[in-house]
């Protein structure tokens, strides 16, 4: 070693990283800065390159082109065991021949830390499993193994903690609980977490910043609220939650707003939420932002008339409608069941309205199905 990378600290900077396997580009010219101390999520469907990116950060793969820096230190070709980076593996990868205590102590012993006992016990208390120190991994439940895998990584106080679909093998209820715990632990220990997941809800619950990946590139990056309220591409609009995307044309200008023509009806939308390059756009509205009203009821904001309710699904907290518009498109509408009014019926003639501020606009040449046909529940097999 010409320098000591193991003490490197600071922001993680990926510069123009490309990873090729033969003709296939798993990661394509990706640049990314992950600020120190943040909880960062790489979100995307199977095969989008997020796991490959994580493995390059861990040192398990070497980029074909590009460089990785941790603060000022170049770690592009540094061996995994020389990086101050630890990983929580997808299926935990605990050492089956060692006790829980020795699993957690493994990294400390390799680094020649003096007070192994105190460090291990501290982190066992943090994950609330001090009574399992003497057990073997196979004697633990999935949720317990998950916490031990986390403890084994954070006990080393790495500059960066990588989490590779860490909750993928847990059932839904346990997953929700672990999401809250992980977030709490991240705040508690103050480490930088980089979390790879295909579960958009998981990413939104935990991360400060999410990078949505698709086909080896970053589609969009921002806070969960930014990504949800102001998606820049159809892929993000569909992969993160659901969206109604309606073909339209920009026909005018009104201060901070744009006026758009949607199949002969005028609506307005905020200028700063338009990502169009010309007059041809897709108008995007999230299903829960819509309000439904019967034809003669007066409404404010943007209105689209001529709808007919095609389908009603009552799901307790809300009612989901499919509304067919005069131009043949079916729009999704989620109405909260909080007003004591009986749901509308199938066949009712209705107007759809919403506050203009909730409107976003995408380029008119986008593929509106992008990101909607991928099944995010399929476990990542990259």
Partner 1 sequence: MGKIRTPYLLLLPGFGFLFVFFILPILNLAQTSTQTPVGGGDTGQYEQTFRFQNYIDAFVENKEQFGRSFVYALIATFLALAISYPLAYAIAFKSGKYKNFFLVLVVAPFFTSFLLRTVAWKQILGEEGFVVPTLRSVGIISDSTTLTSTAFAVVMGMTYNFLPFMTLPLFASIDRIDPRTLEASGDLYANGFTTFRKVTLPLSMPGVVAGTLLTFIPAAGDYVNAAILGSPNTKMIGNVIESRYFKIVDYPTAAALSFTLMAAILILVTVYIRKAGTEELV
Q: How far is the CB of 86 from partner 1 (least distance, A)?
A: 6
Q: How far is the CB of 292 from partner 1 (least distance, A)?
A: 51
The CA distances from residue 213 to 269, 339, 341, in Å, are 27, 39, 41
Q: How far is the CB of 112 from partner 1 (least distance, A)?
A: 9
Q: At what angle do helices 116-126 and 100-110 cross, to 10 degrees?
A: 130
The answer to whether 368 and 311 have CB atoms below 8 angstroms apart is: no
Q: Measure the CA–CA gap between 350 and 333, rounded to whole angstroms.
A: 12
The answer to whether 291 and 299 have CB atoms below 8 angstroms apart is: yes
Any idea which residue has 């943040």 for tokens?
A: 38
Q: How far is the CB of 382 from partner 1 (least distance, A)?
A: 14
Q: How far is the CB of 35 from partner 1 (least distance, A)?
A: 23
Q: How far is the CB of 104 from partner 1 (least distance, A)?
A: 10
Residue ranges that bind partner 1, judged by CB under 8 A: 6, 58-60, 79-81, 85-87, 89-91, 93-97, 106-107, 110-111, 136, 138, 152-153, 156
CB of 111 or CB of 346, closer to partner 1: 111
CB of 110 or CB of 271, closer to partner 1: 110
Q: How far is the CB of 329 from partner 1 (least distance, A)?
A: 47
Angle 136-194-47 from CA coordinates, rounded to 5°: 90
Determine which helix (DSSP H) or strand (DSSP E) holds 234, and give its type and residue range.
helix 234-239
CB of 75 or CB of 352, closer to partner 1: 75
CB of 82 or CB of 265, closer to partner 1: 82
CB of 78 or CB of 233, closer to partner 1: 78
The answer to whether 73 and 3 have CB atoms below 8 angstroms apart is: yes
Question: In sequence order, what DSSP letters do the residues of 248-271 get, joined into one string?
Answer: EEEEEEETTEEEEEETTEEEEEEG
The total of other beta-carbon atoms located within 10 Å of residue 246's CB is 20
CB of 105 or CB of 269, closer to partner 1: 105
CB of 52 or CB of 359, closer to partner 1: 52
DSSP state, 342?
A: P
Residue 197 Ramachandran class (φ > 0 left, ψ -120 to 50 alpha, else beta): beta
């Amino acid at each position: 070693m010409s320098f000591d990378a193991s003490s490197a600290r600071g922001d993680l900077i990926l510069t123009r990283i490309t990873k090729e396997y033969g003709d296939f580009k798993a990661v394509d010219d990706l640049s990314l800065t992950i600020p120190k101390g943040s909880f960062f999520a790489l979100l995307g469907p199977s095969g989008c390159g997020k796991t490959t990116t994580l493995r390059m950060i861990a040192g398990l793969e070497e980029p074909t082109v590009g460089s990785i820096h941790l603060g000022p230190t170049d770690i592009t070709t540094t061996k995994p065991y020389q990086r101050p980076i630890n990983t929580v593996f997808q299926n935990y990868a605990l050492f089956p021949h060692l006790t829980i205590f020795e699993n957690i102590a493994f990294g400390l012993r390799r680094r020649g830390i003096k007070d192994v006992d105190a460090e291990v016990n501290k982190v066992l208390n943090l994950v609330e499993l001090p009574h399992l120190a003497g057990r073997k991994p196979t004697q633990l439940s999935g949720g317990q193994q998950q916490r031990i895998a986390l403890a084994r990584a954070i006990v080393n106080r790495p500059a960066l903690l990588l989490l590779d679909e860490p909750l993928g093998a847990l059932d839904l209820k346990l997953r929700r609980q672990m999401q809250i715990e992980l977030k709490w632990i991240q705040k508690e220990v103050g480490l930088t977490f980089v979390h790879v997941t295909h579960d958009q809800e998981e990413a939104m619950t935990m991360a400060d910043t999410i990078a949505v990946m698709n086909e080896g590139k970053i589609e969009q990056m921002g806070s969960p609220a930014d990504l949800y309220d102001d998606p820049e591409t159809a892929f993000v609009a569909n992969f993160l939650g659901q969206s109604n995307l309606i073909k339209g044309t920009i026909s005018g200008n009104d201060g901070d707003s744009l006026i758009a023509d949607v199949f002969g009806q005028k609506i307005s939308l905020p200028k700063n939420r338009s990502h169009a390059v010309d007059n041809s756009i897709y108008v995007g509205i999230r299903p829960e932002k819509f309000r439904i009203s019967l034809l003669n009821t007066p409404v404010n904001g943007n209105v689209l008339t001529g709808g007919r309710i095609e389908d009603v699904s009552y799901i307790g907290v809300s009612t989901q409608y499919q509304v067919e518009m005069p131009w043949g498109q079916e729009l999704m509408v989620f109405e909260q069941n909080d007003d004591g009014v009986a749901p509308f019926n199938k066949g009712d003639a209705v107007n759809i309205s919403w506050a203009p501020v909730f409107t976003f606009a995408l380029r008119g040449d986008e593929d509106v199905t992008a990101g909607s046909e991928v099944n995010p529940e399929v476990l990542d097999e990259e």
